């Protein structure tokens, strides 16, 4: 049977035919094998119901079955400095293989509880781990040996095998006092706790974990928040706070183009000298994880003008991560601008690793030196040369660029 016919037969699996050898998906490396080899390094260390290790620190709250959810720590079978395993702010420059390798060493302990029920030792110990300033030594006893499955999620970083917990004990840890102070303040709203910790330079990823495990909020209102939701909630909360400042600043005086790349994601960011507006356009190349099509590139955009948007962004959590990162730089400069982000997701992005990748890539781009232009056309011509997709395709999907080209300014009326 010829390969072309195999691809088109309904019901057939390319993976079953390929088995990681023929690379029928067109990727440089087989995503299943990347996970498999990472898992193989971990599983021999988990041939027991008991696990001792140093949590980075890391915790996780599931979303299935809400309001009954599984909470618990993520602990590798390693004693020592494991902080890198759950510190996405430190992952810039690492390969997918490196990230998956240490992420799959994190074993997730699961304890089923109601989102409002904090009255168990496991819940208390999990919250203690989230408050740790550095690695927390823990001992977990499982009800069965941890097992793994291949899970893909564009919001959350991957992790290793999991099992239900019988018990959890934290043996040694140093508490992050800034987080502990917010935890013990039962009159402090969750939003205010998030913003206070951000202003005190607590990493966004650590604030997200603390928010998820119910450390913040008015005492009677506290609850566990699924990790997937907490990531976007914290990004959005911080991004909106920064945006309130951005809107008070004068406009930039020229068009700017910034650029960065991460894990075969290519970002080109255009800043416009106008009032705040924001748009992110994603282009998923053929045979990438969310676009298995053989030929067509899938493009999707989400945007807002000065007054914001009222519905959840079509492109998901990446929108809020990028918005946070852009406003960080505008706040540093005390300037306001319109923003358009072009993101090309190419074939080397063989599996999703979480929206942290977008936040850190945009942060990296915005810290770089931009290329400046006096005219919009020149900036877009330059941007298109840094991308593989033609400018006409981006323009077709962009509401902000169309608005910028078509809107009339006060100066137009004076000149008339």
For residues 32 and 19, the answer to whether their CB atoms sit within 8 Å is no
Is 2 within a domain? no
Residue 279 and residue 395 in one domain: yes
Is 68 within a domain? yes
Residue 293 and residue 212 in one domain: no
Q: Each residue's pLDDT tens digit in the chain (416 positions)? A: 333 322 233 344 566 456 555 666 667 677 766 766 666 666 665 678 999 999 999 999 999 999 999 999 999 999 999 999 999 999 989 998 889 888 888 999 999 999 999 999 999 999 999 999 999 999 999 999 888 765 557 788 888 889 999 999 999 899 999 999 999 999 999 999 999 999 999 999 999 999 999 999 999 999 999 999 999 999 999 999 999 999 999 999 999 999 999 999 999 999 999 999 999 999 999 878 778 776 789 999 999 999 999 999 999 999 999 999 999 999 999 999 999 999 999 988 888 899 999 999 999 999 999 999 999 999 999 999 999 999 999 999 999 999 999 875 544 434 44
Residue 43 and residue 157 in one domain: yes
Is 98 within a domain? yes
Q: What is the pLDDT of residue 102?
A: 86
Tally of structural domains, the chain: 3
Domain end call among 205, 224, 246? 246
CA angle (231, 234, 238) in 5-degree steps: 140
Is 8 within a domain? no
Residue 352 and residue 375 in one domain: yes
Is 12 within a domain? no
The residues pairing with 109 across neighbouring beta strands, listed in sequence order, are: 163
C-alpha atoms less than 13 angstroms from C-alpha of 343 in its C-beta half-sphere: 26
Residue 25 and residue 90 in one domain: yes
Can you give the residue range of the structural domain that contains 114?
20-175
Strand positions, DSSP E, 14-157: 50-55, 59-61, 68-75, 107-114, 136-142
3-class DSSP assignment, residue 206: helix
Residue 264 and residue 358 in one domain: yes
Residue 25 and residue 124 in one domain: yes
Residue 323 and residue 205 in one domain: no
Residue 264 and residue 391 in one domain: yes
Is 9 within a domain? no
Domain end call among 147, 175, 203? 175
Is 29 within a domain? yes
Residue 28 and residue 113 in one domain: yes
Is 341 within a domain? yes
Residue 283 and residue 408 in one domain: yes
Strands laid side by side in the 265-272 sheet: 298-304, 277-284, 338-345, 265-272, 255-262, 371-373
Q: What is the pLDDT of residue 360?
A: 97
Domain end call among 215, 246, 277? 246
């Amino acid at each position: 049977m010829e390969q072309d016919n195999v691809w088109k037969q309904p019901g057939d699996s390319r993976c079953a035919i390929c088995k990681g050898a023929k690379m029928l998906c067109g990727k440089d490396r087989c995503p299943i094998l990347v996970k498999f080899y990472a898992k193989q390094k971990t599983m021999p260390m988990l041939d027991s119901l008991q696990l001792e290790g140093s949590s980075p620190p890391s915790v996780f709250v599931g979303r299935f079955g809400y309001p009954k959810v599984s909470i618990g720590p993520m602990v590798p079978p390693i004693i020592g400095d494991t902080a890198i395993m759950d510190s996405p702010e430190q992952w810039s420059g690492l390969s997918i293989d490196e990230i998956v390798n240490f992420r799959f060493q994190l074993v997730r302990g699961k304890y089923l509880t109601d989102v409002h029920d904090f009255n168990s030792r496991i819940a208390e110990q999990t919250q203690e781990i989230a408050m740790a300033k550095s690695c927390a030594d823990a001992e977990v006893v499982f009800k069965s040996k941890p097992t793994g499955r291949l899970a893909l999620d564009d919001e959350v970083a991957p992790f290793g095998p999991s099992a239900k917990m019988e018990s959890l004990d934290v043996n040694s840890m140093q508490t992050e006092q800034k987080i502990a102070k917010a935890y013990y303040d039962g009159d402090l709203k969750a939003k205010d706790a998030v913003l206070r910790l951000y202003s005190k330079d607590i990493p966004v990823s650590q604030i997200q974990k603390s928010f998820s495990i119910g450390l913040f909020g008015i005492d009677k209102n506290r609850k566990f928040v699924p990790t997937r939701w907490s990531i976007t909630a914290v990004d959005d909360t911080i991004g909106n706070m920064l945006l309130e400042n951005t809107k008070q600043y004068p406009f930039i005086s020229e068009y700017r183009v910034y650029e960065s790349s991460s894990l075969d994601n290519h970002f080109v960011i255009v800043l416009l000298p106008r009032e705040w507006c924001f748009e992110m356009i994603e282009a998923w190349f053929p045979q990438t994880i969310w676009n298995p099509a053989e030929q067509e590139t899938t493009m999707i955009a989400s945007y807002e003008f000065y007054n914001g948007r009222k519905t959840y962004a079509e492109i998901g959590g990446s929108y809020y991560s990028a918005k946070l990162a852009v406003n960080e730089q505008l706040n540093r400069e005390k300037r306001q601008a319109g923003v358009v982000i072009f993101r090309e997701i190419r074939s080397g992005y063989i599996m999703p690793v979480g929206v942290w990748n977008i936040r850190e890539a945009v942060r990296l781009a915005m810290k770089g030196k931009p290329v400046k232009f006096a005219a919009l056309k020149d900036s877009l011509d330059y941007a298109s040369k840094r991308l593989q997709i033609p400018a006409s395709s981006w323009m077709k999907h962009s509401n902000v660029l169309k608005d910028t080209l078509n809107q009339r300014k006060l100066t137009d009326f004076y000149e008339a």
